[in-house]
Structure 1
Amino acid sequence: MKVLRTYLIAVGIWYLCNLVLLWPSVYAGPLRLIYPGIALGQGTPSFGLLLDAWLIVGIQLAAIGLVALWGARDPLRYWVLVPVIVLTELVGSAWDIYSVVWSGEALWVGLTTLAAHAVIMAGAWCARRAMERDIV
């Protein structure tokens, strides 16, 4: 259960960090690097709406992160969080591919976030395998 506990803690902390990274006052600056050459309308109500939408994503990730941290206390009971995390990462991966191909996201940003999704999903696979070994 140690691998699963470590995984839940790592993902929980990472998802809480995403809340900080997506906080409007933090995220507003890097957006022009993430979407170079696109007029994002900084200072307009539409830009505020964009930042608010990303804040909601951060809050949702933080909620999953808090549950993962809570679940790390009893990983066997909370192992069902792993598929939730994997599905969250698959949706995020699809969004990143869409953003690079059709929405002008910088390639380096898309590849970096895809790598992060892959690491989290690989960690899920390792945690699941370790859990299966511990149970059998």
Structure 2
Amino acid sequence: MNERSVRWFFVAVGVFYLLNFIGLLPGLSEPLLTVMYPEAGLPVGGEGSSLLQDAWAVIGAQLGAIGVVALWGAREPRRYAAVIPVVIAVEVFDAFWDIYSIVFSGEALWFGLTTLFLHIVWIVWAYAAWVGLSARSPQVQ
């Protein structure tokens, strides 16, 4: 994978993570969370709903921060290559979290499987970017 392809990866993951940040802001995330966890019976506007929105806002903020760094790194992909394993680690953890949520927390199966698929796409793309940069530069390992 050449540097231009890695640049596209950084832009794509950066935009995706920033969209996650926006979508997980309290107020905006409430409809999404009721779709994600239909069995939880979250009262719209209730205390439990507010707590869940706040928790997801923290996750969104973390993704947003990584997204900003990825977008910044798109300018010089080789220099910011360390963002790639961060994306891999986040996506692997989130994939396990989705499996846990499906099995133990009542996450809607279709939603969990969709996000699991997206995690796999990001992991494979990030790994290809990492290997592509590593093959071209011995310092990226």
Aligned residue type for 2:130: R
2:123 is aligned, of 113, 121, 124, to: 121
For the Cα contact (< 8 Å) 1:3–1:130, is it kept in 2? no
Residue 96 of structure 2 corresponds to which residue in structure 1? 94
State the distance in 2 between where 1:37 and 1:15 align.
27
Query: Structure 1 residue 82 and structure 2 residue 84: aligned?
Result: yes
Q: Is residue 88–residue 127 contact of structure 2 (8 Å, CA) maintained in 1?
A: no
* CA positional deviation for 1:119: 0.6
**Matching residue of 1:54:** 56
| 1:3-48 alpha-carbon deviations (Å, 9 max, x no partner) | 1111111100100010111122221013222112322233222321
State the 1:124 CA deviation: 0.7
Residue by residue over 1:45-101, the C-alpha shift from the partner in whole angstroms, topping out at 9 and shown as x without a partner, is 232111011111111100000001111111111101111110000111111000000
Counterpart amino acid of 2:55?
A
Residue of structure 2 equivalent to 1:12: 14
Q: Which has the higher contact order (CA 8 A, sep 6+)?
A: 1
Task: For 1:88, give the aligned amino acid.
Answer: V
Contact map agreement 1:3 1:131 (CA 8 A) in 2? no
Runs (5+) with no aligned partner, structure 2 = none
Structure 1 runs not aligned, ≥5 long: none
Counterpart CA distance in 1 for 2:135 and 2:73 is 19
Q: CA RMSD in A?
A: 1.3
Q: With the length of structure 2 as denominator, give the TM-score of the two structures.
A: 0.90
Alpha-carbon distance in 2 for matches of 1:72, 1:102: 38
Identity %: 43
Counterpart selection for 1:21 from 20, 23, 29: 23
1:104 deviation in Å?
Answer: 0.5
